[in-house]
Structure 1
């Protein structure tokens, strides 16, 4: 259907960061997720949107808590590994344990520990609400971005003006 193609093309123009959602049951669990968003400041909450076809999300749901790892631009390989189905996703991946017991990926920019608060029907995806139980910044580096079905990186451009808060206002995505 043409509308489906138009929908994907139009929404593909929205640049997103890339995360890895992890948990630990009898083994480390995880999947790559670019459908992620801040949701609420009171209570602190985030939202993520795993595909209904995910074989990993049901296992993380059973655990009831998870960690969102915000990936850096040099973690494309980590993203691809956690984005594929199958066992041994964590083979050769370096990680430690977050306060809630989930894998905290080495090299991530930041992490957000959550407890599962709610799931809603999102069509071919599930809308997951997580209440934040802990978070932290790990390193200062450019983020891994996804734009028009490809990984991208930030490039700084000189600005003619700043935002009202004095911060630089623009960053562009380039291949």
Structure 2
């Protein structure tokens, strides 16, 4: 069976046009958190979250190859995907900065495996780090959900470079 498909000879767009087109897709905003072997916590803001499968329960997210936190997330067995609620832009900003400890004065709870669950989130998913797939300039993480919870409320969105909400 031939599994190769023909490709266009060249792209009909540049990287700026590609980013502009991608920005038209509104995404939810998440903070991925984990605990290291030394007991410290790490986290990052990501909008590349999606469901994969109901049986088994799988979700995915991606992280850039150049990210300082890539070794942390490829090396840990578990993490929590925290889906931010409307009004939690400060948390998104806090976990997108490199120079500060985002957990500093933040009250949070721990999952069954000791991973940080952020306060007030719309939902969270505790995941086993099932598999990783390098693609382009990112690594796609597939997590098998072991625990989850939803607190129905408006979600924080990111669209055309700005935050918004579903309400």
After TM superposition, the score normalised by the length of structure 2 is: 0.87
Q: 1:21 aligns with which of 5, 28, 32?
A: 32
Q: Distance in 1 between matches of 2:166 and 2:117?
A: 24
Partner of 2:52: 39
Structure 2 residue 156 is the aligned partner of structure 1 residue 144: yes
Greater relative contact order: 1 or 2 (C-alpha under 8 angstroms, separation 6 or more)? 2
Q: CA RMSD in A?
A: 1.5
Partner of 2:103: 90
**Offset from partner CA, 1:114-139 (integer Å, 9 cap, x none):** 011111112111111111111111x3
Does the 8 Å CA contact 1:115/1:132 hold for their aligned counterparts?
yes
Does the 8 Å CA contact 1:46/1:131 hold for their aligned counterparts?
yes
Q: Distance in 2 between matches of 1:72 and 1:49?
A: 20
Cα offset, 1:87, TM superposition: 4.4
Partner of 2:139: 126
Partner of 1:9: 20
Greater per-residue helix proportion: 1
For structure 1, the 5+ residue unaligned runs are 156-175
Structure 1 residue ranges, 4+ long, deviating more than 6 angstroms after superposition = none
Cα offset, 1:100, TM superposition: 2.2
Q: How many pairs does the alignment contain?
A: 154
Cα offset, 1:52, TM superposition: 1.4
Q: Distance in 2 between matches of 1:84 and 1:51?
A: 15
After TM superposition, the score normalised by the length of structure 1 is: 0.83
